[in-house]
Amino acid sequence: MAASPTHFSISHDHSSSTSLIHLQNQSIFSSKDSLKKTHLRFPTSSRRKSVNLQLMASGKTPGLTQEANDRTYDVTIDRENNTDVFDDMKHRFLAFKKHKYMDNLEHFKNLADAQAPKFLVIACADSRVCPSAVLGFQPGEAFTVRNIANLVPSYESGPTETKAALEFSVNFLNVENILVIGHSRCGGIQALMSMKGEPDSSSFIQNWVITGKKAKESTKAVASSLHFDHQCQHCEKASINHSLEKLLGYPWIEEKVRKGSLSLHGGYYDFVNCTFEKWTVDYEGSRGKKEGSGIAVKNRSVW
């Protein structure tokens, strides 16, 4: 049963410099009990003008192609500039639709039916490191997973979304390349290098970046005399190779690499100097190495 309309209004309380949101009438979630009048206080700047807004929640999902002008509500997010922060995003999307989607309609129709990317990209979640923007990947070319510090967990560890992406892209999409991309000034690597001892059990960040513990240890072994920033830079690159080594610990990845149907690559994006360093795992050379002693690489280049 669809929810009854719910009315919201915002008024300005001049005595306390707060905005009051009044919720009246029916519950949003189809409850038979009416929702009593409730006051929620949000701090506002005394410089801002009074805002009056009414939101009608119909309980129905609007069509995906509904025009922005048909919206039943209008929220000003950036009050200082009196603009909606989604305005630029809207214009970029409409430009994409006009100049990319419509000009390549057949391609996008094919993508609607199936995808066959050549790459799995494992990149950092850092907002400055977008693989599509930096490397020009187009829709359908790269299956991408992004996490803090572009880390790959070991095969033996518990389930993660990164491991799910590995399984899906390698075993179902049959990608031909896995590219692990690290980058300069990585906050995740800085967090890893700053840790003293074992991670704090209450910290999600520490319990994730500890995945790169071996990269930290190898960095400390050879670069402990360097400034902390240089240690982090060393670890940023070391962690990429440790992740590539971990990938070879996945039986179904190692099998495809051995047969030549899958290649593993590392990449390092320095956004300070705008350079990109790329290399490929030398599987035959890596086989002769003792487990945990690193990997052999080939085809190293800097762009």
**C-beta separation of 211 from 218 below 8 A:** no
User: What three-state secondary structure class fits 191?
Assistant: helix
Residue 124 labelled as part of a binding site: yes
* CB count in 10 Å sphere of residue 301: 9
List 183's β-bridge partners, or say none: 269
**β-bridge pairing 119-124 and 177-183:** parallel
Residue 126 labelled as part of a binding site: yes
The H or E element spanning position 177 is: strand 177-183
**C-beta separation of 286 from 263 below 8 A:** no
Residue 200 labelled as part of a binding site: no
Residue 84 labelled as part of a binding site: no
Rounded Cα distance between 265 and 5, Å, is 54
Per DSSP, the residues of 258-299 read HHTS-EEEEEEEETTTTEEEEEEE-HHHHHTSPTTS---EEE
Binding site membership: which residues? 124, 126, 183, 186
Binding site membership for Zn(2+): which residues? 124, 126, 183, 186
